[in-house]
Each structure stands twice: as C-alpha cells, then as structure tokens.
Amino acid sequence: MNMPVRLTTGDRIAETSSKGNQEKWLEDSRWYKLDLFGYEGLAETVTSRLLRQTNVEELGFRYVTYRMERLEVHRRTRNGCSSPNFLLPGESILTLADLFRKGIGPHWQAEVARQPNLAGKVHWMAEQTIRLTGLRRFGIYLTLLFEVDMLFGNEDRHLNNIAVLRRGEEFDYCPIFDFGAGLLSNVRDYPMDVDPQALVKQLRAQPLNTTFARQVKAARSVYGAQLQWAFSAADVVAALEEPLEFYAERDRVYIADRVRSCIHWQAGKL
C-alpha cells in the first residue's frame, strides 16, 4: 500500500498523553498521536471502527473516530493516528479528576476510599458527577465506558481519561476517547513472544484498579448492562486489514493474533 507521509516540523515539541509520554499535538483541527510502546494507533483505529457496530449512539452517546497516520516527526518517520477535534467553539474538556478536585476539594480521593465496596465507588463517582454537572444519565455513561474498555482490554481509563464537556456553566457528555492502551498494544508490558491468552489474564481495569470483570460487574449492579455489539470475528479481521499495513510485515501476524484473541476472550467474559 502506498501511504502518504504527513510532514511536520522536525523541531516540533509535542504535548504528552495522560501517561506523560505518548506525544500528541493539534493541527488543522485534528489531534495527532504517535505510537510509543507498540501499536497504539492501530488499537485506536480498530476500536473506533468496531464501535460502529455497537449501540453506543443508540444510547445517546458518541465516540471519537481514529485513523492511522504515517508521520515524519523529529526527522523520523513514525506510525500514529489522528482524530477530529470534537470541541465546539467555547467548549472545553473537564476531566473527572479536575471536576472532583474543584467541586469536592483536595481530599476527594479519601471520600472514594471510604466507600464500602466497588459498587459503592462507582455509585459515588456517578452521583457526584451528576450533582456537579446535572448530567442525569452519567451512571449509564460510566457503565458503558467500563464495558467498552473491558471488551477491548483498555487499561488506561483513569480519571484523567473520563471527562465531561463544559460550555460556561453548562455540561454535556464527552465522546468516548483514548483507546490506545487496548488490544495488548503495549509490547513493552505485553511482549510479542508471549501467548495472547496468557497476557489477557494479566489485564487490569482503571479507575478501580481491579479486574475488568469485577469493575463491570460493580457498575452493572447499580446501573444495569448497557453495551451491545454486533460485530463478528470476520468484522475484526476486516477492521485490521488496512491498519496492519502500517506495521512491519514480520509483526502483522502476531499483532492480528493478539487483537483477535483479546477481543475474543474479553467478549466471552463480558
């Protein structure tokens, strides 16, 4: 495949991701992110493609769409992805970490810790967000987010990756974003030479720092199951076809096997 390479200045100083290391920047109304530990761009792209075959929009919520990019940055050609800037004029993103810090105070984490169990923690986060923003369906949104993360094995859903949109004193639901830590994309933590099924068993869910199954069970016990999906194994293969072309041929069969295995095992547990 003949891929265009998007040229950027070699002197670019990129912003960093929530983990403080994956470079990203805004240009021409799109956000660009570079792969760092493996195939984050593929994980973002494949996840957003498969979300088309879910009920996220039927539930009244949105998700960010990603596409693969080949980028020349710091005088090197790198893989990455891009997504549209979904913020309207006057809008900003307010993460739950910032919302709680501003709306509850510096000791909000101690209040979370006082909750008796995981369901209590989920309920506390949802109800505090409802109180501070007026978004009455936030418990449903949060449950859906946890289910999406479980399905795709996304470990990076800390409270800086859960957010609401703010327009002055009004709030709205933020499109679901940032799937790059899913699908076993971090080959530093999840090496390519280890059986994917064994790696899936090691996954941990944020923000509750537990297994995905326990986190989702806790949310569903309060707000009910939300996510439905209609994609097949063949749809996963189709979603992988174009993004795989960006990676070394020797790695493609391993990446494809890891992605398929992750979704298969996570879907079975979900």
Same domain, yes or no: 75 and 132: no
Contact residues for 37 (Cβ-Cβ < 8 A; gap 6+): 185, 186, 187, 188, 189
Q: Are 144 and 6 in contact (CB under 8 A)?
A: no
Q: Give CA separation, 108 vs 86, 103, 133, 180, 206, in Å.
A: 29, 9, 16, 28, 17
Same domain, yes or no: 109 and 167: yes
CA dist., res. 84 & res. 143, Å (int): 25
Amino acid at the residue 113: A
Strand partners, 79: 70
Peptide bond into 207 cis (omega under 30): yes
Q: Quote the number of domains for the chain.
A: 2
> In this predicted structure, what is the pLDDT of residue 21?
61
Q: How many helices (H) and strands (E) does the chain have?
A: 9, 9
Same domain, yes or no: 52 and 117: no
> In this predicted structure, what is the pLDDT of residue 3?
58
> In this predicted structure, what is the pLDDT of residue 173?
98
End-to-end CA distance of the chain: 36
Q: pTM for the complete prediction?
A: 0.92
Q: Is residue 41 situated within a structural domain? A: yes
Q: Is residue 265 situated within a structural domain? A: no
Same domain, yes or no: 153 and 241: no
Same domain, yes or no: 106 and 70: no
DSSP state of 3: -
Q: Is residue 270 situated within a structural domain? A: no
CA dist., res. 95 & res. 159, Å (int): 7
Strand ranges in 121-255 using DSSP code E only, listed in sequence order: 163-167, 170-173
Amino acid at the residue 132: L
CA dist., res. 54 & res. 239, Å (int): 14
> In this predicted structure, what is the pLDDT of residue 75?
84
Judged against a pLDDT cut of 60, whether residue 153 lies above it is answered with yes
Judged against a pLDDT cut of 90, whether residue 214 lies above it is answered with yes
> In this predicted structure, what is the pLDDT of residue 195?
96
Q: What CATH number is associated with residue 192?
A: 1.10.1070.20
Same domain, yes or no: 77 and 96: no
Please give the mean pLDDT across all residues of the chain: 93
**Looking at residues 61-76, what average pLDDT do you find?**
94
CA dist., res. 253 & res. 41, Å (int): 17
Same domain, yes or no: 44 and 79: yes
Q: Is residue 210 situated within a structural domain? A: yes
74 φ/ψ angles, rounded to the nearest 5 degrees: 55, 35
CA dist., res. 244 & res. 169, Å (int): 43
Q: Which of 208, 212, 242 is nearest to 227 (CA)?
A: 212
Neighbours of 26 (CB within 10 A): 12
Encode pLDDT of 218-253 as tens digits. 999 999 999 999 999 999 999 999 999 999 999 999
Containing structural domain, residue 130: 92-221
Q: Give CA separation, 262 vs 147, 204, 258, in Å.
A: 14, 13, 6
Same domain, yes or no: 53 and 27: yes
Judged against a pLDDT cut of 60, whether residue 259 lies above it is answered with yes
